[in-house]
Amino acid sequence: MQAQAIRPALLITEPRTVDELSSFVAAAAESCRCRGLNMTPIRRRVLEVVAASPVPLAAYAIIHRLSDTKLLGPPTVYRALEFLVEAGFVRHLALRKAFVLCARPGEPFVAVLTCTDCGDTSEVTSEEVRAAMVRFASATGFAPHGRAIEIEGRCATCTRAAADHVP
């Protein structure tokens, strides 16, 4: 695989300013309006919590962060998360049992890279990786329906830091 075939990673979890958060949530609400989807106040609030987090959040962490305004039960938050995932604004990280913003919502396929040391999460795209996954799955008779694969490991920053600390 050639390096130029992989689009640069987009960091999902970098901190955002209040203005960036407001713009993102407003754009998501407008996208919903244009697509005939209903961005309810609860869905909007769940999106705000996920967007404001510097790390992927478990559903119960989202519920806890929402408890300051109104006690929301798990089913309500899970339904909101399901909507946001289907709408393409939030990605569910099955390996982490957590939720994070989609850095590349329009891409048909991404690889989600999560650092097990610092928790940074990024998305990369590669047509070669997607095609290889489809070929492998097809050869085994498996029909994948997901649009992302998850890879856990150590990011470049943590790899360098670990190498610097080798005695």
Q: 158 with 117: CB under 8 angstroms?
A: yes
pLDDT of residue 6: 45
Token pair recorded at residue 55: 């790390």
pLDDT of residue 77: 92
pLDDT of residue 17: 76
Termini Cα distance of the chain: 34
pLDDT of residue 69: 60
Helix (H) or strand (E) holding 148: strand 148-153
Q: Which residue has the tokens 């940074």?
A: 120
Residue 95: CB atoms within 10 Å: 12
Sign, Cα dihedral of 24, 26, 29, 31:
negative
pLDDT of residue 71: 64
d(CA 73, CA 116): 30
pLDDT of residue 13: 46
Q: pLDDT tens per residue, the chain (167 residues)?
A: 333 344 455 555 444 677 778 888 888 899 999 999 999 999 999 999 998 887 789 999 999 888 766 667 889 999 999 999 999 899 898 888 999 888 777 777 888 888 888 888 888 887 888 888 888 888 999 887 777 888 899 988 899 988 887 66
Between vectors from CA 57 to CA 54 and to CA 61, what angle results, nearest 5°? 115
